[in-house]
């Protein structure tokens, strides 16, 4: 993983030069924070969020039982989204944007994003795809092979970065996870806030708040977002959780025990 910075808005961070170097080459920045389970309901109320306005999603990850792809910095995912359709992604994380092949950067389906939280930042490169309608469900039920979810571009990127001898059809299905996603503009915040509530099979939950911005406005948006969330009583100093990491580890242990 990319070395962690203390927080994006902290200009005195010893990671600032690294952060600035990355920002100039990324396509977008996503600022995010997770809220501890014990205060999630309080945070939802403070932000005036309405769960009935949220979009329902099913998220599936694909990896080997021992998470060999994850160890290589490779994430393979597919989703079903209510009233939106299916999507898939092959993601490289971490990446150094300036070191990526020019041909890959030119693809309209590829984007480089910097994710920043109060605990640090990491750059990722995502190659997106649009499977046929119903394809993700058919793969989940075993009626179609995993490779059917991904485009030729995605197949090529996977083959280049996957461990030797592992194909898409060798991967186990890790999931699904149910996710509620809500886009809102809370009073006092002049940007779009995205709220995601991830439900894990053991009953645990991750609540993540995020907003995207252009690289040139990262520090201003980070400062404004920090101030807004703090004014709503949301503690930015709590231990942060990662949705993907939590999902991979949960389902990997489940496969091992089975």
Q: Which of 14-28, 87-101, 157-171 has the lowest mean pLDDT?
A: 14-28
Is the pLDDT score of 250 beyond 70? yes
Q: Which CATH superfamily is domain 16-257 in?
A: Hypothetical Protein Pfu-838710-001 (2.40.320.10)
pLDDT digits (tens, 9 = 90+) for 233-243: 999 889 999 99
pLDDT of residue 13: 55
Is the pLDDT score of 12 beyond 50? no
pLDDT digits (tens, 9 = 90+) for 137-184: 999 999 999 999 999 999 999 999 999 999 999 999 999 999 999 999
* Domain extents in the chain: 16-257
Contact of 81 with 55, CB cutoff 8 Å: yes
pLDDT of residue 11: 34
What's the average model confidence in pLDDT over 78-90? Answer: 95
Record the tokens describing residue 86, joined without a space: 């299916």
Report the residue count for the chain.
258
What is the DSSP secondary-structure string of 39-85? GHHHHHHHTT--GGGPEEEEEEEEE-TT-HHHHTTEEEEEEEETTTE
What's the average model confidence in pLDDT over 115-137? Answer: 95
pLDDT of residue 88: 98
Q: Does 3 or 17 have the greater pLDDT score?
A: 17
Considering only CA atoms, which of 9, 6, 4 is closest in space to residue 219?
9
Is the pLDDT score of 5 beyond 50? no
pLDDT band at 16 (very low <50, low <70, confident <90, very high): confident
């Amino acid at each position: 993983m990319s070395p962690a910075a203390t927080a994006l808005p902290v200009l005195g961070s010893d990671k600032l030069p690294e952060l600035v170097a990355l920002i100039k080459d990324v396509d977008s920045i996503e600022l995010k924070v997770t809220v501890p389970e014990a205060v999630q309901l309080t945070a939802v109320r403070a932000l005036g969020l309405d769960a009935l306005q949220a979009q329902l999603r099913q998220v599936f990850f694909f990896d080997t039982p021992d998470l060999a792809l994850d160890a290589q910095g490779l994430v393979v995912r597919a989703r079903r989204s209510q009233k939106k359709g299916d999507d898939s992604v092959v993601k490289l994380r971490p990446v150094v944007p300036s070191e990526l092949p020019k041909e890959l950067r030119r693809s309209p389906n590829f984007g480089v994003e910097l994710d920043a939280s109060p605990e640090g930042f990491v750059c990722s490169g995502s190659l997106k795809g649009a499977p046929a309608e119903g394809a993700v469900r058919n793969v989940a039920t075993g009626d179609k092979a995993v490779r059917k979810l991904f485009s030729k571009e995605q197949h090529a990127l996977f083959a280049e970065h996957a461990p030797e001898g592992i194909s898409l059809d060798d991967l186990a299905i890790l999931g699904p996870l149910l996710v509620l996603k809500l886009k809102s503009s809370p009073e006092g915040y002049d940007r779009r806030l995205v709220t995601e509530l991830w439900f894990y099979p053991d009953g645990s939950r991750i609540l993540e708040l995020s907003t995207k911005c252009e690289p040139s406005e990262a520090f201003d948006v980070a400062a404004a977002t920090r101030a807004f969330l703090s004014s709503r009583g949301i503690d930015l100093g709590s231990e942060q959780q990662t949705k993907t990491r939590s999902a991979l580890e949960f389902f990997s242990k489940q496969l091992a025990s089975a």
